[in-house]
């Protein structure tokens, strides 16, 4: 048997109680939703603050690393210049100092005794550029004729002879810049 339910309250008060219960349920659920929204908003704010801090750290780290890279770029440029210079020095050394001394000795063998050498430079590939001074035209002609002679040594050693400049000084001496390819 089910229990007997007797309600002596008027109908109006029962509907008021039902409405009040609904209002309390709605009020409780709206407070719960509001608390959940506040919790979610604080959670999103906290995540945003953490992400902002992480981004700030990463930006600072990026700036530091960028500065280090710029410093290393400068060092790289300096190292590259040094490397190129060392490569050039090695190429010059590989061209063999012995070959240059042979060319120098050979060139001196063609110079007449009355001719003074002001400067001499031996470039890559055996090109000799020399500035000479001769006291008179005969001495100068002897030097040129020994350079262009038909001897086997001259033909074997010298492939090209050029006179870049020729001038006569006030004292009667002759100055010339010779360009000779060995």
66-97 pLDDT tens trace: 999 988 888 898 899 999 988 887 776 665 66
Nearest to 117 by CA among 130, 106, 100, 107: 130
Q: Tokens in use for 75? A: 């060092």
Which of 94-98, 101-105, 119-123, 165-169 is the least confident region? 94-98
Q: What CATH number does the domain containing 111 carry?
A: 3.30.1360.100
What's the rounded Cα separation, in Å, for the pair 131 and 163? 10
pLDDT at 94: 65
Of the ranges 33-37, 49-53, 119-123, which one carries the lowest mean pLDDT score?
119-123
Mean pLDDT to the nearest integer, 54-58: 95
**Which pLDDT tens digit goes with each residue over 116-163?**
888 888 876 778 888 999 988 888 888 888 888 766 665 667 778 888
Which of 114, 129, 140, 104 lies closest to 180, judged by CA? 129
pLDDT score of 53 more than 70: yes
The structure tokens listed for 139 are 């001495």
State the DSSP code for 48: H
Could you tell me if 110 and 167 lie in one domain? yes
Minimal CA–CA distance to 122: which of 171, 179, 68, 55? Answer: 179
Higher pLDDT, 45 or 2: 45
Beta bridge mates, 166: 176
Q: Is residue 171 part of a domain?
A: yes
Tokens standing for residue 134 = 């001769």
Give the domain extent around 36.
12-94
Question: Does residue 4 form part of some domain?
Answer: no
Let me know if residue 3 belongs to a domain: no
Confidence of residue 35 (pLDDT cuts 50, 70, 90): very high
Closest C-alpha to 172, from 138, 142, 135: 135
Question: Do residues 110 and 129 share a domain?
Answer: yes
**Angle (nearest 5°) at CA 151 between 147 and 156:** 80
Helix (H) or strand (E) holding 133: strand 127-134
- Cβ-contact 154, 110 below 8 angstroms: yes
Domain count, the chain: 2
| 159 vs 65, more confident | 65
Higher pLDDT, 7 or 104: 104
Q: Return the pLDDT at 127.
A: 82
Place of tokens 């035209």: 137
* Three-class SS state of 3: coil
Q: Which residue has the higher pLDDT, 4 or 85?
A: 85
């Amino acid at each position: 048997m089910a229990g007997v339910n007797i309600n002596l309250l008027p109908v109006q008060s029962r509907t008021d109680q039902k409405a009040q219960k609904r209002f309390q349920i709605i009020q409780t659920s709206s407070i719960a939703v509001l608390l959940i929204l506040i919790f979610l908003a604080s959670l999103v704010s906290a995540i945003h603050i953490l992400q902002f801090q992480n981004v700030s750290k990463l930006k600072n780290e990026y700036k530091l690393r960028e500065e280090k890279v710029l410093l290393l770029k400068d060092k790289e440029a300096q190292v590259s210049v040094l490397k190129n210079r060392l490569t050039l020095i090695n190429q010059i050394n590989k061209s063999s100092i012995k070959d240059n001394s042979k060319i120098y000795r050979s060139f001196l063998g063609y110079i007449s005794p009355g001719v003074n050498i002001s400067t001499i430079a031996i470039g890559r590939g055996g090109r000799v550029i020399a500035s000479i001074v001769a006291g008179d035209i005969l001495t100068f002609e002897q030097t040129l004729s020994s350079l262009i002679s038909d001897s086997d040594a001259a033909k074997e050693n010298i492939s090209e002879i050029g006179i870049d400049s020729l001038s006569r000084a006030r004292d009667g001496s002759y100055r010339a810049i010779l360009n000779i390819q060995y």
